[in-house]
Amino acid sequence: MSAMSTDTPVVTQTLSPATAATPVASRGKRFVCMMYESALLFGVIFTADYLFDTLTQSRHGLMFRPERQAWLFLIIGVYFLLCWRRGGQTLPMRAWHIKLIDADGYRPSMRQLIVRYIMLWPVPLAGMALIYALVLVTNWPGIYTFAIVTPFLIFIPTFFIPGGHFLHDRLAGTQIVDVREQVALAAAQQKSSK
């Protein structure tokens, strides 16, 4: 992939200005992409955690727990920041033809990407805090099972934010757009030029 110019909108680099209006990716696409992303993150987290255990000689997951959590937060952040900065997409985002751009259609700045990454955590963590409180109140640890849905709580604000954007995208000045038409058009243009 060629280097991106910072003065040309990302989604229109190979397209005419008439196609500059790119639709926001649907909730369904974003949801399926998150499911795919979770499978990839399992590998990233497993590898990072193995490296952490090897370097610290920890014998179980509760040793160095705060340090481990900070390490994984950092590694997950590096994974997303590198993918988003490189081309606006992680592998699942490429597969589902969605892309992260700023509000003007350009590649987001590193500051925007960091803000986006940090601001995506409060909603799932609030959900986890609620689950923890319910366990304390009911004394029923089976409620922890619902922790699996906490990452998907980020979809709740999309029903109240104009355009259906994620809250962290709104705060960071970014958006996830559907680029299926642009990909198809670029492929057709490339095929016709051969």
Ordered mean pLDDT values, 10 residues apiece, the chain (194 residues): 46 40 89 95 96 91 91 97 95 95 94 97 97 96 95 95 94 95 79 77
3 state DSSP class of 100 = strand
| Closest of 30, 7, 160, 194 to residue 100, by C-alpha | 30
Quote the pLDDT of residue 9. Answer: 53
pTM, full prediction = 0.83
Residue 154 is encoded by which pair of tokens? 């980020």
| Closest of 95, 118, 119, 116 to residue 107, by C-alpha | 116
Please state, in angstroms and rounded to a whole number, the distance separating the CA atoms of residues 40 and 45. 9
Please state, in angstroms and rounded to a whole number, the distance separating the CA atoms of residues 190 and 194. 7
Question: Which region holds residue 97: left if phi is over 0, alpha if psi is between -120 and 50, else beta?
Answer: left
Going by their DSSP bridges, the two strands 98-102 and 174-178 should be labelled as: antiparallel
Please state, in angstroms and rounded to a whole number, the distance separating the CA atoms of residues 136 and 157. 27
| Closest of 33, 149, 133 to residue 92, by C-alpha | 33
Other CB atoms within 10 A of residue 95 CB: 12
Quote the pLDDT of residue 122. Answer: 97
Residue 58 is encoded by which pair of tokens? 């920890």
Quote the pLDDT of residue 12. Answer: 45
